[in-house]
């Protein structure tokens, strides 16, 4: 049985203490002291702990990041509650929730590439919407988003869930950019179609007028909805095929249901 030692972390008026394996204590406490010395606008323990996870990931110390991450999971019981439920339960504002989710998921590639069998991604129970036999869920892609700033949604998703989405976004961006250069349609993409650059480089996105052109916005609407689906099945720990089985409703007419709601709103 591993021996745990306490780590103390403080940022302004917010302080937390959590246990990590004794072999990691000195390194993590050193990281904690360096983190505490930096000014940050943090108002809650869950936000502080998640921000420290991100700090450990950014430091490049994999063992420390994993130890702090699993301490977070024990503290906030993510084995029985989805992290989105945890964030909601703490009444966080948008910025704080973003910091918690981003810090939590920053360890995604570290956990999934770790050879230690005891270090596995904590899979929480499926939402009640997916487990109730009395509910027939239906989802459909497509339809106008009704906003000229729809690209902001994709920027937010990639920032928060970057480890889960980057490969997909990179691949799809390359595909869209390649297809947009086809001589049959190239004239419609006179400002290009470099989605990855638009999402990751400040002020790189073209004008709203260009983004609202049908050849641009229609494929991007579907692209953003697929980002939500990828986040959903990965955070639930299921395959895309198993996720599809959760949708039981029959489509009788054309309608639109926001799949995105299932990403952040769970019935507990």
E strands present in the chain:
4-11, 14-21
Answer yes or no: is pLDDT of 126 > 80. no
**What's the rounded Cα separation, in Å, for the pair 69 and 18?**
11
Strand partners, 18: 7
Q: Are 223 and 154 in contact (CB under 8 A)?
A: yes
Strand partners, 152: none
Catalogue the long-range contacts made by 52-57 (C-beta closer than 8 Å, 24 or more residues apart).
52/9, 52/103, 53/103, 53/104, 53/106, 53/107, 54/99, 54/102, 54/103, 54/106, 55/31, 56/28, 56/31, 57/106, 57/107, 57/110
pLDDT of residue 263: 37
**What's the rounded Cα separation, in Å, for the pair 254 and 262?**
20
For residues 41-58, give the mean pLDDT: 94
Share of residues in the chain with pLDDT > 70 (%): 87
**What's the rounded Cα separation, in Å, for the pair 145 and 70?**
38
pLDDT of residue 90: 92
Share of residues in the chain with pLDDT > 90 (%): 58
pLDDT of residue 115: 65
- Opening angle at CA 44, ends 109 and 112, nearest 5: 10
Stated pTM of the model:
0.84
150-192 pLDDT tens trace: 899 999 999 999 999 999 999 999 999 999 999 999 999 999 9
Task: State the maximum Cα–Cα separation within the chain, in Å, rounded to a whole number.
Answer: 65
Q: Strand, coil or helix: what is 158?
A: helix
Report residue 33's pLDDT band, with 50, 70 and 90 as the boundaries: very high
pLDDT of residue 178: 95
From the list 177, 7, 2, 128, the residue with the least C-alpha distance to 75 is: 7
pLDDT of residue 135: 74
pLDDT of residue 245: 80
- Domains of the chain and any CATH numbers: 4-125 (1.20.1050.120), 150-264 (no CATH)
186-238 pLDDT tens trace: 999 999 999 999 999 999 999 999 999 999 998 998 899 899 989 988 988 88
Whole-angstrom distance between the N-terminal and C-terminal Cα of the chain? 33
Residue scoring higher pLDDT (106 or 149): 106
Mean pLDDT, the chain, integer: 85
Residue scoring higher pLDDT (251 or 221): 221
Answer yes or no: is pLDDT of 147 > 80. no
**What's the rounded Cα separation, in Å, for the pair 200 and 178?**
19
Question: Which residue blocks in 2-118 are alpha helix, DSSP H?
Answer: 25-36, 45-59, 62-76, 83-89, 94-105, 108-113
For residues 164, 166, 171 and 174, what is the CA-based torsion angle, rounded to 10 degrees?
A: 160
Report residue 44's pLDDT band, with 50, 70 and 90 as the boundaries: very high
From the list 121, 119, 138, the residue with the least C-alpha distance to 129 is: 138
Report residue 266's pLDDT band, with 50, 70 and 90 as the boundaries: very low
From the list 244, 198, 251, the residue with the least C-alpha distance to 224 is: 198
């Amino acid at each position: 049985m591993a021996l745990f030692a306490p780590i103390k972390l403080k940022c302004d008026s917010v302080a937390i203490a959590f246990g990590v394996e004794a072999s990691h204590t000195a390194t993590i406490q050193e990281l904690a002291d360096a983190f505490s010395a930096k000014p940050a606008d943090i108002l809650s323990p869950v936000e502080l702990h998640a921000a420290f996870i991100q700090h450990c990931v950014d430091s490049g110390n994999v063992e420390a990041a994993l130890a702090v991450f699993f301490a977070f999971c024990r503290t906030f019981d993510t084995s029985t509650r989805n992290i989105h439920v945890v964030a909601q339960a703490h009444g966080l504002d948008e910025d704080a929730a973003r910091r918690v989710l981003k810090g939590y998921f920053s360890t995604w590639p570290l956990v999934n590439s770790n050879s230690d069998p005891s270090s596995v991604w904590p899979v929480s129970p499926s939402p009640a919407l997916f487990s109730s036999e009395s509910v027939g869920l239906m989802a459909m892609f497509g339809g106008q988003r009704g906003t000229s700033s729809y690209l902001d949604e994709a920027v937010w998703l990639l920032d928060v869930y970057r480890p889960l989405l980057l490969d997909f976004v990179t691949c799809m961006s390359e595909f869209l950019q390649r297809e947009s250069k086809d001589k049959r349609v190239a004239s419609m993409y006179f400002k290009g179609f470099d989605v990855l650059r638009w999402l990751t480089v400040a002020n790189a996105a073209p004008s709203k007028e260009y983004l609202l052109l049908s050849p641009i916005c229609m494929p991007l609407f579907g692209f953003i909805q697929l980002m939500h689906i990828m986040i959903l099945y990965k955070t639930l720990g299921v395959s895309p095929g198993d996720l599809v089985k959760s949708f039981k409703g029959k489509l009788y007419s054309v309608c639109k249901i926001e799949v995105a709601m299932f990403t952040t709103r769970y019935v507990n």
